[in-house]
Amino acid sequence: MIQTFDTQLEVSLRALREVVAPALENAESHVVEQFNLALATLDFTRQRLPYARSFHRSELQHFMEFSADVREVIDADRPDIAQQLKNTEEEGSKQLASPEAEVEDYLMVSRQLRELIAEATQCSNGKPYEKQLDTLILQRQKDFFPAQRSWCQPLGLDTKPDELPTMDEAISGAY
pTM of the model: 0.84
pLDDT in tens, 93-112: 999 999 999 999 999 999 99
Name every residue whose Cβ is closer than 8 Å to that of residue 36 and which is 6 or more positions away in sequence.
none
Cα 20 from Cα 7, distance rounded (Å): 19
Mean of pLDDT values over 27-47? 92
Quick one: pLDDT at residue 30? 93
Question: Are 109 and 98 in contact, with CB atoms under 8 Å apart?
Answer: no
What distance in Å separates the CA atoms of residue 33 and residue 16, rounded to the nearest whole number? 14
In the chain, count of helices (H) and strands (E)? 8, 0
pLDDT digits (tens, 9 = 90+) for 72-91: 999 999 999 999 999 999 99
Percentage of the chain modeled with pLDDT above 90: 79
